[in-house]
A and B are shown apart, each in its own frame.
Chain A
Amino acid sequence: MVDPTPEAAGSGPQLASSIFRKYKAELHRWLTRRLRNPDAADDVAQEVFIRLSRVDKADYVRKPLAYVFGIAFHVISELQIKEEQDRFVSYDSEALDRLGESPDHAAPDEFVDRLNLQKQLEKAFAELPPHYQTVLLLCKRDGMSYEEAAAASGLSVHTVEKYLVRARARMMEMAWDR
């Protein structure tokens, strides 16, 4: 397991650190759990969206990622406190199916969550067209730049980027597809 904190991400491709500089481990934990239940992420997105609209526009445009991740982290922290206090009748038939009759708040621990997600990603990966698989492995797993991946695969640099974008999008869709 790779530590999801940005500080420890030195092993990943260097550029990625610019995206994840402000990305918190707690945020990642929460989001990975929601990767398999995207509906639950919508409230958070709504709140982040509203708070973003209150941020000074000039500041936001300068550092949009810092704001998006920073605000999302705060929203999630608040939500977790609120969830503890919420008492109205709540029911999710699919969550019950998934958890085998255990109530919703007794969520499986984080390790199991991430293991499941990785398994799901492997399954999704297997269904990708070979071109997407190639680009994804070269750029993500092997940490190659577009240029290196292009040389290794025989695709053009432009195509590498295009396939990478689509491959990740397809992985997302398939990870959500149930």
Chain B
Amino acid sequence: MSDMKSGNQMDRLLAEQSSEWIERLERGNAQDRKEFAEWTGESRRHVRHFLMMAALEKELESFDPERKLPVPDLRHQGAEVVQLGERAMKGAAPKEDSPHNQVAAAPLSSGASPAKRFAVSGWWSLAAVLVLFIGLATVTYLLSRNEGWEELSTSVGEQRSVELADGSIVHLNTGTRVAVRLSENARDIRLLEGEALFKVHHDASRPFRVHTERAVIQAIGTQFNVYRGADGTTVSVVEGRVQISAEDPGAQRDGAESGTTDVPRAGNAEESSGNGAVATAGDAALFVTRLAAGEEARIDTKGRIEPQRDADITRATAWRERRLIFKQDSLQKIVTEFNRYNQVPQFKLIGTSVATRRYSGAFSVDDPESLSSLLASEPDLLVQRSGNEILVRAKLETGSFANSP
């Protein structure tokens, strides 16, 4: 239950803003109207939340019409207000310009489950081999290089929210691994696998960067979702703006050799200007794309960044409510999504005509049976259970009636 509440922190912020607008607009001076016009122009989520809030406000006018509810007497209550935590970042780690420096991790907040040291065992075994050949100096180098990274992960079907020491919140979707390093002048996250929604606490002095397979996504006080799939990464911006920089392919290769994606140096200098100036050209960033709220881009496996025209941020973040939303999506995509969340059952499509059928719908990720029964109700589909798998095929294709002209 408490987990569900924290899951809606994104909505909470927008709810508070919308609620505030109701009050401000009632007083209604020209400046308020101007700012409201700008705010609604920033994101459709703002529009949505405001419309809903207006409806709620209207409902509140007829709340408790018989005045049955007593007004609590506050003089006997301790004044305590529940509020979304906003932790100040104190005792930040020392500088990390050079990998030789000792870098301490900014600890995760006490509310978070303890995180594993990043790939500790892997590095130790590698280090043991290297000691024989290269010597102690190298070991020291490798250890210090990975110091400061904390890994967070979820298993299949699991979701988790973690508040970082800087006040930012990371929501991890199913089957996800991220490594986090907070230091004095940067906040770096590696999305090693899966999908995460980031709600970034504003801190102009420390850029917040998410490193994925082929790109760096940099945010300024914002919320965005990053989904690293088999065929690329999708970035969806809920609020504010982000900037995506493609990584230097050379840097990528180095990272692959050491078993993890190395942190590129892209975008170190940008944040100071405060409005996301173009990333340091010629250094690591080859291409730079900026996204505003409500926009989405895909980064393919070659590092090409492609803005998406039919962006739908609600769909990209519905997983927070353990919902899957499809709009005229291929059955292949739909079952791939279901299979991400459930080890059992796994859907398996047989035949391309089945995979390319399109459906719209909203599902609970925990209810694969609902998809199964929907498909079973299709007159031309055959749905069979085989062990842990649900096989879906076209009825015609099961026989050898397919005749070519």
Q: Which of A15, A46, A125, A155 contacts B69 (CB 8 A)?
A: A125
Q: Which residues of A contact B62 (CB under 8 A)?
A: 1-2, 118
The reply to whether the CB of A105 lies closer than 8 angstroms to some CB of chain B is no
Chain B residues contacting A53 (CB-CB under 8 Å) are 41
Instruction: Tell whether, in the assembled complex, residue B370 and residue A93 are in contact, meaning their CB atoms are under 8 Å apart.
Output: yes
A residues with CB within 8 A of B: 1-2, 4, 9, 12-13, 15-16, 18-20, 23, 28, 31-32, 34-35, 38-39, 41-42, 44-46, 48-50, 52-53, 57, 60-65, 68-69, 72, 88-95, 114, 117-118, 121-122, 125, 129-131, 133-134, 136-138, 140-142, 152-155, 161, 163-166, 168-173, 175-177
Bitwise interface map of B from 338 to 370 toward A, beta carbon under 8 Å scored 1, else 0: 000000000000000000001111111001001
B44 near A46 (CB under 8 angstroms)?
yes
Question: How many residue-residue contacts, CB under 8 A, span A and B?
Answer: 222
Chain A neighbourhood of B367, CB < 8 A: 93
Residues of B within 8 A of A (CB-CB), count: 72
Q: Which of B19, B45, B51 contacts A72 (CB 8 A)?
A: B51
| Contact across chains for B364 and A94 when beta carbons are under 8 A apart | yes
CB <8 Å contact, B364 and A93? yes
| 5 closest Cβ pairs, A-B complex | A45-B48, A31-B55, A49-B44, A91-B361, A130-B72
Q: Say which residue of A42, A90, A133, A140 sits within 8 Å of B60 (CB atoms).
A: A140
* CB atoms of B362 and A175 under 8 A apart: no
Interchain nearest-CB distance for A96 vs B (Å): 8
- Within the complex, which residue of A4, A138, A170 is in contact with B71, where a contact is CB–CB below 8 Å? A138
Residues of B within 8 A of A (CB): 4-5, 8, 11-12, 15-16, 18-20, 22-23, 25-28, 33-34, 36-37, 40-41, 43-45, 47-48, 50-65, 67, 69, 71-72, 74-75, 77, 79-83, 294, 312, 314, 318, 323, 325, 328, 358-364, 367, 370, 374
How long is the Cα–Cα vector from A171 to B83 in the complex, in angstroms? Answer: 14
20 additional A-B residue pairs with CB within 8 Å, beyond A52-B40, A141-B63: A12-B61, A13-B61, A16-B57, A19-B57, A49-B40, A57-B37, A65-B25, A88-B328, A91-B360, A92-B362, A93-B370, A118-B63, A134-B74, A138-B71, A140-B60, A142-B67, A153-B71, A153-B74, A166-B19, A172-B56
The B interface, classified by DSSP as helix, strand, loop or mixed, is: helix
Select one of B44, B83, B358 contacting A45, CB under 8 A. B44
Q: Is the CB of A172 within 8 A of B74?
A: no
